[in-house]
Structure formats: structure tokens, C-alpha cells
């Protein structure tokens, strides 16, 4: 009798958990807005350099999206006892080697729209410029990719994805794509290789997703499963820091492994654990499928993600983020000395790992470096997080990365408690 009761109770718990999780995540489809942003911004130039500040915060005017609300109680960020004054913190300007203040580097060199500094989860500094506010969601574009790798790693840790099996074993709809047999889940998560795509194919991929006004119909997954799509070799150069069709493959695999849309996976496994203040947005194609560069977060919730990684390392047993993933991100580069051209401007030893950047120099520091200066710096030893939203006029440059590093170094030095500098 007791054994039957135990079975019944287990079944009730198994049934109740998905329902409870669903109650904590409210996801709403939002059609593309009909509100005009003016006569000079359209579907084909909304991410041009001169339109970045408007485009990155108004993606819903050009593409449909999902609004993701975590209904858990929000956690307000509290100020630290001592706040930092950006214009009194000295840093070296990498462009002319002169001493400037951090505020100058942020506003003038990086075209920053917001910066938030957390230590031990408390606000050391928070500033906004050019119309950005604490509740505005900023599109991360390529900065979304590291979060996809994290969710994939969590699926591996939960036994939902097999790292050494081919991607087609996890996506039945791609079973006839023999070119994908050589792409394992592990290789896809690490993101260190890519297929060789022509510029025209990348343009078609973007059109299928809806990033611009192309003529590719059917959505992103119809494009991915087109016959012969993957009959190609890997490129000679790795896919370091790039956004491409592989990210949409990863989204598909994660969604299949959990048997739910990616937005639901993101909310249940990551977003609601942040106890966020603002809803997240995730851009979709015309069919409602989430896009690999489509996540938008407020600056405060972006910073919370960095704090989540710190907490996961310090409380590994209570976190669903696998400890091996954090340790892989932070592990020393050892004797590896080759410079990564895509990371020029950063210290020797910096390298991509699962879409994140392991930073050279001091140990246990990582970053998400998205396009246009949007970035998240995490120093695990100092329990320090620096989130920046910017509108730098080029996606990636050595000068941009060098400036970010100077800002991180200067803020990290003054953010230490008195007596530990």
C-alpha cells in the first residue's frame, strides 16, 4: 500500500511541476508594431550606424516578438554604501594614450547609453544617457549567443542533449540532411567552427528570419531544412563571435530536447531565476520561431545575469547551471599564447569559449562582447559585474575592445573594498 502511495505522490509531483513552472512564466506573442518611427528609418536600415539608438530599442517596430514575463517576485537592486563617481575615476584612453576619466571613455569613445556596476549584487554606479532608461529593453543581437550555449549546457547536464551525438539525432526534421552528421552538439555549443556560407546565403538566411525585407518565405526553419542546405564543408576560419545559421540550429535542438518553445525554456531555466524587474523580449520570424540573435533585456536584468553566474559558481549545488560550464569559462589559458585576431585589443590570453570571452590577465574574468559595445563583464573573484549598453558605430573593432578593457580595469580597481586594493 505504501509503495502505491509513493508512486501516486511521485506522479502528482511530476504532473504539478510543469504547471507550476508555466504559472511563473507568462509568454505573449506580439505582432509587429504599426507605429512609424519616422520617414527615414525602414526595414532595411533600422540597424545602420546612424539609427542604432532607435533601432536597438524599437525592434518590435520591424519584427514580431515574444514578451516574456517571469511572474516571480522581483528583486530590487539596492545601492551600495559607497557609490562610484565615474568622472573621478582615471583610465588610459587607448586611442591617444592620455589619462581620461571613465565617464569620458564611456560617453565619447564607446557612445554608451547606459552603464551599471554591481558588486555583491549591490549597485555601485548606474547612469543612463541619450534617452535610455532603466526599463528599456536593448536588443543584444550577437550577445544572445552565449546565453544559448548556456541553455544548451544546462540541457546536457540534465541529460536532454547528448554532447557527442550528431545534431540530426536531436532534430528529426533534419534527418535527411547528411551534411549535418559531422556536426555534434558539443561542437555546436562551443561555437568554434562554422559552415562555409556565401554572402548571398547569409543574406537569404537573414531574409528568412525577417531581419530585412527579403523575399524568402516560410520562416527560419524552412530555410534550415531546405534540401541540400548543409551539403558543404566547414570554413577555414572559426566562427568566433559571429552570428549565423548554427545559432538557429542550436535553438531548434534545445527546443526539441525540452519539448517546448525556446522562450519557455529560457524563462524557466534562466530568466525567472534573475527575479527580473522588466519583461524580456525575444524576436521571432513570421512563424513565431525565436531567432538566435533576438533577445532583448533591460540593462538591470542583463547585469543580473552576470550576478547569476557569480552566484552559480559560489553555490554550485543549488544552481542548475553546471559547475563544469563555469569552470570551463574561467579556467586559465595556461601555455596557450596564440592571439585570436577577432579579439584584438584585449590582453594576450583572451579567447572565445562557448560564445563568452575568457579574458587574459587576471584570473577568473569573463565577458559577453556583443556588437556596438553592448557588453557584460564578470569578475568572479571580486564579485563584480559591469553591464554596458552602447551604440558604437561599428559592430566590432580592436579600439572598442581596448576601450572596454580600460573601463573594466579602472572600475575593477576602485570597486574593491577598502584595504584590498
Measured between alpha carbons, how far is residue 167 from residues 179, 191, 251, 252, 257 in Å? 10, 13, 11, 10, 11
Q: What residue has cell string 524580456?
A: 280
Cα–Cα distance, 106 to 410 (Å, whole number): 12
Cite the DSSP H helix spans in 141-261: 145-157, 185-190, 199-209, 220-224, 245-258
- Asked if residue 1 is part of any domain, the answer here is no
- Asked if residue 344 is part of any domain, the answer here is yes
Going by C-alpha positions, the residue among 251, 248, 258, 147 that lies closest to residue 205 is 248
Cα–Cα distance, 280 to 27 (Å, whole number): 10
| Orientation angle between helical segments 145-157 and 323-330, nearest 10 degrees | 140
Q: Return the SS3 of 292.
A: strand
Cα–Cα distance, 385 to 279 (Å, whole number): 21
- Asked if residue 67 is part of any domain, the answer here is yes
C-alpha cell at 31: 505582432
Cα–Cα distance, 189 to 253 (Å, whole number): 11
pLDDT at 238: 60
Residues 117/124, Cβ–Cβ less than 8 Å: yes
CATH classification at residue 409: 3.40.710.10
CB neighbours (10 Å) of residue 306? Answer: 23
- Asked if residue 232 is part of any domain, the answer here is yes
Tens-digit pLDDT string for the chain (421 aa): 444 444 444 444 333 334 445 578 999 999 998 888 888 999 999 999 999 999 999 999 999 999 999 888 878 899 998 899 999 999 999 999 999 999 999 999 999 999 999 999 999 999 999 999 999 999 999 999 999 999 999 999 999 999 999 999 999 999 999 889 889 999 999 987 778 888 999 999 999 999 998 878 889 999 999 999 999 888 766 655 567 899 999 999 999 999 999 999 999 999 999 999 999 999 999 999 999 999 999 999 999 999 999 999 988 667 789 999 999 999 987 545 556 778 999 999 999 999 999 999 999 999 999 999 999 999 999 999 999 999 999 999 999 999 999 999 999 999 877 555 5
Q: Give the structural domain span for 168.
A: 24-77+123-415
HSE of 154 in the Cβ direction (CA atoms, 13 Å)?
A: 20
Q: Return the SS3 of 71.
A: coil
Q: Return the SS3 of 283.
A: strand
- Asked if residue 82 is part of any domain, the answer here is no
Phi (first) and psi of residue 57, to 5 degrees: -105, 5
Residues 191/146, Cβ–Cβ less than 8 Å: no
pLDDT at 14: 39
- Asked if residue 40 is part of any domain, the answer here is yes
- Asked if residue 222 is part of any domain, the answer here is yes
- Asked if residue 298 is part of any domain, the answer here is yes
The model's pTM is: 0.92
C-alpha cell at 62: 520591424
State the DSSP string of 302-349. Answer: HHHHHHHHHHHHHTGGG-SS-HHHHHHHHS--TT-----GGGBTBPTT
pLDDT at 90: 96
Phi (first) and psi of residue 149, to 5 degrees: -65, -40
CA 41 to chain centre: 26
- Residues 6 or more apart whose CB falls under 8 angstroms from that of 146 comprise 354, 355, 356, 368
Cα–Cα distance, 88 to 107 (Å, whole number): 14
Residues 229/177, Cβ–Cβ less than 8 Å: yes
Q: Return the SS3 of 112.
A: strand
Burial code of 144-160, b = ≥16 C-beta within 10 A, e = fewer?
bbbbbbbbbbbbbeeeb
Cα–Cα distance, 83 to 248 (Å, whole number): 41
Measured between alpha carbons, how far is residue 122 from residues 35, 113, 356 in Å? 37, 21, 24
CA 236 to chain centre: 25
Number of domain units in the chain: 1
Amino acid at each position: 500500500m505504501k509503495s502505491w502511495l509513493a508512486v501516486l505522490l511521485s506522479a502528482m509531483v511530476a504532473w504539478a511541476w510543469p504547471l507550476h513552472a508555466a504559472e511563473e512564466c507568462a509568454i505573449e506573442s506580439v505582432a509587429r508594431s504599426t507605429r512609424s518611427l519616422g520617414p527615414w528609418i525602414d526595414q532595411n536600415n533600422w540597424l545602420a550606424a546612424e539609427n542604432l539608438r532607435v533601432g536597438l530599442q524599437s525592434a518590435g517596430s520591424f519584427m514580431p516578438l515574444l514578451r516574456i514575463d517571469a511572474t516571480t517576485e522581483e528583486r530590487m537592486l539596492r545601492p551600495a554604501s559607497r557609490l562610484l563617481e565615474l568622472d573621478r575615476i582615471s583610465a588610459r584612453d587607448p586611442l591617444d594614450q592620455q589619462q581620461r576619466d571613465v565617464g569620458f571613455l564611456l560617453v565619447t569613445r564607446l557612445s554608451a547609453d547606459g552603464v551599471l556596476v554591481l558588486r555583491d549584487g549591490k549597485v555601485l554606479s548606474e547612469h543612463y544617457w541619450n534617452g535610455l532608461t532603466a526599463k528599456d529593453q536593448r536588443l543584444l543581437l550577437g550577445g544572445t549567443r552565449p546565453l544559448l550555449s548556456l541553455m544548451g549546457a544546462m540541457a546536457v547536464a540534465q541529460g536532454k542533449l547528448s554532447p557527442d551525438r550528431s545534431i540530426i539525432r536531436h532534430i528529426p526534421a533534419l534527418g535527411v540532411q547528411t551534411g549535418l552528421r559531422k556536426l555534434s552538439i558539443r561542437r555546436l555549443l562551443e561555437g568554434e567552427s562554422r559552415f562555409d556560407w556565401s554572402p548571398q546565403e547569409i543574406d537569404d538566411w537573414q531574409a528568412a528570419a525577417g531581419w530585412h525585407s527579403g523575399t524568402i518565405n516560410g520562416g527560419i526553419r524552412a530555410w534550415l531544412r531546405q534540401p541540400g542546405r548543409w551539403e558543404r564543408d566547414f570554413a577555414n576560419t572559426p566562427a568566433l563571435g559571429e552570428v549565423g545559421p548554427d545559432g538557429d540550429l542550436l535553438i531548434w535542438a534545445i527546443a526539441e530536447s525540452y519539448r517546448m518553445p525556446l522562450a519557455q525554456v529560457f524563462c524557466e531555466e534562466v530568466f525567472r531565476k534573475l527575479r527580473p524587474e522588466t519583461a524580456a523580449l525575444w524576436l521571432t520570424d513570421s512563424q513565431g520561431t525565436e531567432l538566435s540573435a533576438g533577445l532583448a533585456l533591460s540593462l538591470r536584468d542583463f547585469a543580473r545575469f552576470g550576478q547569476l553566474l557569480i552566484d552559480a559558481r559560489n553555490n554550485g549545488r543549488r544552481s542548475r547551471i553546471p559547475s563544469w560550464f563555469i569552470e570551463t569559462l574561467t579556467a586559465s589559458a595556461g601555455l596557450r599564447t596564440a592571439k585570436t585576431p577577432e579579439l584584438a585589443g584585449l590582453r594576450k590570453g583572451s579567447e572565445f569559449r562557448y560564445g563568452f570571452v575568457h579574458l587574459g590577465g587576471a584570473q577568473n574574468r569573463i565577458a559577453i562582447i556583443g556588437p556596438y559595445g553592448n557588453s557584460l563583464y564578470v569578475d568572479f573573484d571580486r564579485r563584480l559585474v559591469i553591464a554596458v549598453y552602447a551604440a558604437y558605430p561599428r559592430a566590432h573593432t580592436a579600439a572598442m575592445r581596448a576601450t572596454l578593457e580600460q573601463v573594466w580595469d579602472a572600475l575593477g580597481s576602485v570597486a574593491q573594498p577598502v584595504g584590498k586594493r
